[in-house]
Amino acid sequence: MKIAIAADHGGFELKQKLIAHYAKQGIVLEDLGTYSEESCDYPLIARKMTQAVLSGAAETGILICGTGIGISIAANRVKGIRAALLYNADVARLAREHNNANIAVFGGRMQKFEDAVTYFDIFRQTAFAGGRHLRRIGELDE
């Protein structure tokens, strides 16, 4: 599975930790930036990720800003994107089963690293349930 990751300065530290963690497991997270703690704008970071997911360059992605809110709003303005802020294990599972979420979002200043790993592992290993949920996610893009 091709996975991309991107963060603004508020999510930079968590992004770096996740990249290092998954690299140890042989899982490459393609880093779309930002590449330092210098202040930058989350809408532009979200745009890079949504382009990667919609083009197929990445099958899924992780987006991080300080709270996870701004970057969620930005990503979800793009048709075809379903970005889900993961804040517990059930939400991580349901975001895939019910919403077929194609981007996982974290608040870098709110989220413990260990929890982010737990939630993203559930997210990436859970399949979309289809059925009635297929109709509902279709309605999002009408």
Site for ligand RB5 contains 69 (CB under 6 A): yes
Query: Among 5, 14, 53, 66, which residue interacts with ligand RB5 (rule: CB under 6 A)?
Result: 66
The neighbour count for residue 127, using CB atoms within 10 Å, is 8
Whole-angstrom distance, CA of residue 46 vs CA of residue 71 = 6
- DSSP assignment, residue 7? E
Could you tell me if 33 and 51 are in contact, meaning their C-beta atoms sit under 8 angstroms apart? no
Residue of closest CB approach to ligand RB5:
70
Residue 34 near ligand RB5 by CB under 6 A = no
**Torsion 128-116-53-31 (CA) sign:** negative
Q: Which member of 9, 21, 40, 98 is catalytic? A: 98
Q: Which residue from 50, 67, 76, 102 is in contact with ligand RB5, where contact means CB under 6 A? A: 67
Residue ranges in 1-20 that form contacts with ligand RB5 under rule CB under 6 A: 8, 10
Tell me which residues touch ligand RB5 (CB under 6 A). Answer: 8, 10, 42, 65-67, 69-70
